[in-house]
Structure 1
């Protein structure tokens, strides 16, 4: 509560915080680009075997090549082998495509699939490449999460943006699919570093009253990037140019070196009081406030901030923290599994890929707006309810015939709506449950489990080729189980952020009626006299 009160005294969501959120939101556009661009750069257009005049087939493989060339596109829609084999009209005699494929350029000028022939027996490499990219997010969640708790949110965020830009641009010039996949893997590691550090940096600079609103602002930016990508991909049909277009603008963010602040809360938790006081004074000045002298004097006399280094083991050290952590880990896993399972499967819906991608991004806006309405009431019930919506929508898709693509797309969007809202809640919820000393580590480990879901999502989508019902059953049941588990978490709405492990563990030991009401964002509770105010600030300093 000490830091939240100090933050309120200097303006907990004033001009300083609002400018900070502008800086935090800009990278979210690029995150959406990188996360979803494979829908277009890795798309598989209609294709057929390339005719070769020198092709020499034995008599038992007598083929009518002219017929193959003339009707292969239409056969591609009616026969599963038409795009992978030469064949006569009755499909009793066929030969593998020995001279490559011809690809339709009606929708895409080029993709990684058309450039490196990732079709037929090589088609699985496309999904494997997506899983390898998601593995990068998994590794990044571990590396950048621990790095941020040790070296700070600002340093780690800047490093993530720089690496993302350099390797994203390099991917546009990859000479082979292997090199492209490696470069995308590195980009994936930086995604986690940018996502979790931008969110936590904003959360730790925002007062309790506005924390929920501020946390979701970044999600709106991600949804905007989702929609912008559909427009960029529509205008840029060559995958290399599109990859360059989404990566190169990252160089413009070099000015972040001078404008992005550190986290004053993290500095205090790590016994760097002088730096924290300077930052708090600056924030107060920008917000048109003056930091109370008594508060900064008492902050300067706080005995050592952190007695020992905390690690991921602290997340499961006590029974209560272990229960909360394991539930949160599963919720992160299932959110990403279903969110990206539905998002990456958009090309199978049989609708216009650009329009559907745009609508999938558009649906994120009302989903997050609804979160703003229900989250102040309850974090726990909101999390559970949105997971249930996402799971039920996926199960209902099982009842819709494949020849009704519009109905399937509608249910898929309903599922996307529920998982988007759930995704928005889980970020806020997790940041409020884990204490400051391990908040970044906790979100990092949670994100690691989330990325396991991201790795599995493309692989589960591959099962659609063998049994279309399996992915939907998994995407339906997993969120429903999460909806039940979420009810076992503590309610955090309206509570101040816990700073120490003791704060978090003893959270439920206090009756809500006895908890002190959090300070508002704009002022410290008014006092009857200057002496009383001085006493409150003295008490504030002692608490800090």
Structure 2
């Protein structure tokens, strides 16, 4: 494409328009954090036992303690069994008292929660005993929704645009997020959570792409990372919100309703000018660019605007484009691996918040708080050291912390939690780097397709993370060994990727070498006098946008 990079510079790298755009992209992240982890607080551990009210028919005057003594067996510690009961008999009360009951069976009439806790998913849908696995299954179903969203919204965004996909995803999140609070059955709850997960994927991919394609080169990291900081803030708010609202239906409404206000605000978001140009919609791109320039109080030179013409008609990007060309294939495969292992360690730690031995609300608050410095620090680290070095260092470090946790005794919950927080810090920094790095590596025509594919890889890891935790019943070290070793391997692979710091975004899939290699070749060629343009040397940015 000719001229789009220079025109965007004339419009303004980070003027009032870009600031408002980034601000509007922050609010969905609060709700995304809520939906991602809210179920951890909706399934609290509460005491329970089988409903044995059958004995009231023959002993209506029994006290609660007498009823439980006669109808419930005790475990090795002398406490009442939570998932078994004595089989009902048609004896009279005196015979039961004299001889006692011996045959046991699983709870046949449901469960009783003697502490009368506030309504939760556990108490309302009886997610205990044989049904307790439904909680983990539900979490996996939500992750499946994230996977489906990545599969659907990524390619669709490259075809119909970033703006419509953002609006569709926000609308679905509002509709089904609020609908969850009124579901009558747990299976309906899981289905609605799946749709919400898909909407979260759509928002998490479309909004960063829209922001990145509007801001200048040096502002790309902060445009993405600010939204990630807002996601971390959402985790902290979730800890406070869930602590104050123990009724799961009211908590769901409180976490979903604020997005309604955003739906009416996103109508003002313009489409990406870069995407419009790649689709040959030049006149629309000109109008949007002029409007943005007026907001930023800049003027686009008419001659520069007239140069905004696609040199050749760009073909729509597809998933196959990511694997046809050698340089894109290498980038795609390595980023798929990076997202997979990054998501594995991130969710492996995040979803284990209830098992570190400390208060769940304080642990969640710490997990959210530690992400803010991790993500803000990325803004500076990415500019100082570049994308490749940052990714290749922080990702293995997150895995090494998990490996250290294996050696901590179980009776040291504070030490385990501190190490988990450090691991979450590294995993969060790596995740922010992955978003920025991926968006810069993939060309505009397949950027969302590539991001969607990477997100799919991450979602597969998110689905597997709860299942890997179940391996702890065989040995407590197995889950952390997997969560720790995988990121080390993924981080080492990042060394093979090109650097994208201070390079312009690539629009098409033409070319045969990565951007960084082109820059090096262009530099050496210009020194030998082989690359001449206006003024004797071809412009550096034009060279970087010619090839990927």
Normalised by the length of structure 1, the TM-score is 0.87
Structure number with greater CO (CA < 8 Å, separation at least 6) is 1
8 Å Cα contact 1:44-1:114 kept in structure 2: no
C-alpha separation between the residues in 2 aligned to 1:85 and 1:419? 42
Say yes or no: does 1:486 pair with 2:494: yes
Q: Deviations over 1:308-330 (max 9, x none)?
A: 22210011112222121111011
Secondary structure class of the residue paired with 1:54? helix
Q: Which residue of 1 aligns with 2:356?
A: 349
Secondary structure class of the residue paired with 2:280? coil
- The aligned runs of 1:74-93 (5 Å cut-off) are 82-86=81-85
- The aligned runs of 1:333-372 (5 Å cut-off) are 333-372=340-379
Q: Which residue of 2 aligns with 1:38?
A: 39
Q: Structure 1 residues 289, 455: closer, same or farther in 2, change over 3 A?
A: same
Measure how far apart 1:305 and its partner are: 4.1
C-alpha separation between the residues in 1 aligned to 2:366 and 2:394? 19
Q: Which residue of 1 aligns with 2:328?
A: 321
C-alpha separation between the residues in 1 aligned to 2:70 and 2:521? 77
Measure how far apart 1:209 and its partner are: 1.3
- Please tell me the root mean square deviation across aligned C-alpha atoms, in Å: 3.0
Q: Structure 1 residues 330, 374: closer, same or farther in 2, change over 3 A?
A: same
Secondary structure class of the residue paired with 1:261? coil
Q: Structure 1 residues 429, 80: closer, same or farther in 2, change over 3 A?
A: farther
Task: Identify the match of residue 439 of structure 1 among 443, 447, 450.
Answer: 447
- The aligned runs of 1:75-154 (5 Å cut-off) are 82-86=81-85, 95-103=105-113, 109-154=118-163
C-alpha separation between the residues in 1 aligned to 2:321 and 2:119? 49
Question: How many aligned positions are there?
Answer: 512
Task: Identify the match of residue 282 of structure 2 among 273, 285, 309.
Answer: 273
8 Å Cα contact 1:4-1:207 kept in structure 2: no
Task: Identify the match of residue 410 of structure 1 among 414, 418, 421.
Answer: 418
Measure how far apart 1:94 and its partner are: 5.3
Measure how far apart 1:509 and its partner are: 4.0
Secondary structure class of the residue paired with 1:495? coil
C-alpha separation between the residues in 1 aligned to 2:485 and 2:455? 21
Q: Which residue of 2 aligns with 1:422?
A: 430
C-alpha separation between the residues in 2 aligned to 1:114 and 1:331? 39
Of 476-485 and 44-53, more deviation after overlay is shown by 44-53
C-alpha separation between the residues in 2 aligned to 1:487 and 1:83? 53
Q: Deviations over 1:293-350 (max 9, x none)?
A: 1111111x544441x2221001111222212111101111111122112111101112
Q: Which runs of 5+ in 1 are unaligned?
A: 58-62, 517-530
C-alpha separation between the residues in 1 aligned to 2:302 and 2:411? 70
8 Å Cα contact 1:382-1:425 kept in structure 2: yes
Task: Identify the match of residue 456 of structure 1 among 454, 461, 464.
Answer: 464
Secondary structure class of the residue paired with 1:510? helix
Of 333-342 and 429-438, more deviation after overlay is shown by 333-342
Measure how far apart 1:179 and its partner are: 0.6
Q: Structure 1 residues 250, 79: closer, same or farther in 2, change over 3 A?
A: farther
C-alpha separation between the residues in 2 aligned to 1:464 and 1:240? 32
Q: Which residue of 2 aligns with 1:394?
A: 402
- The aligned runs of 1:241-280 (5 Å cut-off) are 241-280=250-289
